[in-house]
């Protein structure tokens, strides 16, 4: 199997790659699906330029829609209060005082609780028969779980990927959406995870420029095997603890998705 590994650490890096490279290999003389303008319902955008603007500037309409369903059930992590005996404090420790113990006052201090880090890779590849509204619904559920984890004090490293293959060629493509140390930015993060155009325009555009030689006229088959998806992540040197696809998430509640995350 010939593996083509493409990894981008920012939205800008992905946009530049597409802008500065032309379709090649099998796609050098093909009609490019990423640039079609005749099926807005399928893509969720009228053309590639409109989709690229949403990726770089933020998908405000989608952000507003998802904001209404943000996971409000998670409790933000707050510093714990530790009570201890001291020579000074806010209240007396009567037994210690009567026994002559100099630590006869009760004091308190705040101790920051350590924050866990979770890495999630979402393989956004879907079949042609999946409606844009269904793509958005499943991905929004994952997005809401991520927001809930962040609100609870868990730091999330988030990647959006597209793993596909055709005969003996496999494309492993991944884009970093958020590092564990970056703040949760709804407007900037939502397009790659939730909008169908990311897969059907940006991921298609990457496939068109990957240099494949086989007949990728239908843009390959989706890599759904968990073991093979983990190997694809390892080939890209990205975390592989939690790798999900649309087919793993569709029909599940946010609570069920949260239980899937290690």
Q: What is the pLDDT of residues 123-164, one digit of tens each?
A: 999 999 999 888 888 888 888 888 888 888 899 999 999 999
Dist CA 58 CA 180 (whole Å): 20
Per-residue pLDDT tens digits for 184-234: 888 888 999 889 999 999 999 999 999 999 999 999 999 999 999 999 999
89 contacts: CB under 8 Å, gap ≥ 6: 105, 106, 107, 108
Dist CA 179 CA 165 (whole Å): 27
- Joined together, the tokens standing for residue 189 give 């993060």
Place of tokens 């003996």: 168
CA dist 157 → 85, 108, 172 (Å)? 40, 34, 18
Phi then psi dihedrals of residue 170, to 5 deg: -135, 135
Q: How many CB atoms lie within 10 A of CB 95?
A: 9
SS3 state of residue 84: strand
């Amino acid at each position: 199997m010939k593996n083509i590994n493409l990894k981008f650490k920012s939205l800008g890096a992905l946009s530049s790659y597409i802008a500065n490279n032309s379709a090649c290999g099998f796609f050098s003389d093909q009609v490019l699906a990423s640039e079609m303008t005749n099926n807005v319902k399928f893509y969720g955008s009228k053309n590639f330029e409109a989709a690229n603007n949403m990726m770089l500037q933020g998908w405000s309409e989608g952000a507003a829609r998802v904001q209404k369903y943000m996971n409000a059930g998670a409790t933000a992590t707050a510093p714990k209060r530790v009570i201890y005996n001291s020579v000074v404090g806010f209240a007396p420790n009567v037994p210690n005082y009567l026994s002559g113990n100099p630590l006869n006052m009760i004091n308190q201090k705040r101790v920051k609780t350590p924050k866990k880090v979770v890495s999630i890779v979402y393989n956004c590849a879907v079949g042609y028969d999946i409606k844009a509204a269904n793509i958005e619904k499943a991905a929004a559920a994952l997005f809401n779980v991520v927001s809930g984890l962040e609100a609870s004090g868990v730091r999330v490293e988030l990647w959006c990927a597209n793993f596909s293959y055709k005969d003996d060629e496999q494309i492993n493509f991944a884009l970093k959406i958020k590092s564990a140390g970056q703040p949760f930015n709804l407007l900037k993060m939502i397009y790659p995870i939730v909008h169908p155009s990311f897969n059907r325009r940006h991921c298609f555009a990457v496939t068109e420029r990957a240099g494949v030689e086989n007949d990728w006229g239908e843009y390959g088959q989706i890599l759904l095997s968990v073991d093979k998806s983990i190997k694809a992540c390892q080939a890209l040197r990205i975390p592989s603890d939690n790798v999900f696809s649309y087919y793993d998430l569709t029909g599940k509640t946010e609570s069920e998705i949260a239980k899937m995350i290690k």
